[in-house]
Amino acid sequence: MEYFNLHTHKFTNQSNVLELVNQYPQEFDARIPYYSIGIHPWFIVKERMEADLEIIESKLQEASCLAVGECGLDKRIEIPMELQEMVFEKQLLLAQKYKKPVVIHCVAAFQELIIIKKKLNISVPILIHGFSKNAQIAKQLVDNGFYISFGKYLLLNKELEAVFTSVPNNRFFLETDTVEEGIEAVYELAAKYKGVSVKEIQELVNSNFNEVFDFRL
């Protein structure tokens, strides 16, 4: 593949891009060829939680479902952390059961994330999507076995250049999330920041993809 978009909310159906489209259990679109599915912390409905988890488990058994997520923790919303952590842990255990990587939404809760990963002894790859923090947090995540995906904030914030270049080549992914720019623009900026060609960035991402995802085009 020429381009892999780790996380997007918009399926663009380009022949040269493999898109991991974010899906929610109650809004599932079977027309999307490859997707992740999860309960986002913003959209936790306690009364619907078990039904959502059942849908996620059924989809995880399909080849077109490449990952769990986005799921995770967010300290800046009103949903209690205790409930967030419970829903998150259930999804991590499903990912472990079906050997699927996990795409993470994390806001101001990176320490909790690391603690939960260790507590549950999660061995499947965990990918932090939309990273926008400093190099110190990035290093701590990498040291604890996480992968880090850059996209929207890389395009918007020049200060992330130093953070991105500090992440080892075997631990990063690229994405668009909700921005209008295509994944090609993210690859071009990543190549500029790493001081390599777009083709080399493509080779690095493809290598990381093959390491993380049990999938071959």
pLDDT in tens, 28-51: 999 999 999 999 999 999 999 999
Residue 189 clears pLDDT 80, i.e. is over it: yes
The reply to whether 173 falls in a domain is yes
Asked whether residue 47 is marked as a ligand-binding residue, the answer is: no
The reply to whether 217 falls in a domain is no
pTM equals: 0.96
Asked whether residue 70 is marked as a ligand-binding residue, the answer is: yes
d(CA 121, CA 85): 15
In order of 13, 46, 127, the CA distances from 210 in angstroms are 21, 36, 14
Q: What is the pLDDT of residue 127?
A: 98
The reply to whether 156 falls in a domain is yes
Indicate the number of domains in the chain: 1
Whether the CB-CB separation of 105 and 121 falls below 8 Å is answered with no
The reply to whether 16 falls in a domain is yes
Q: What is the pLDDT of residue 217?
A: 61
Asked whether residue 184 is marked as a ligand-binding residue, the answer is: no
Asked whether residue 29 is marked as a ligand-binding residue, the answer is: no
3-state secondary structure of 41: helix
CATH number (domain holding residue 53): 3.20.20.140
Domain that holds residue 34: 3-212
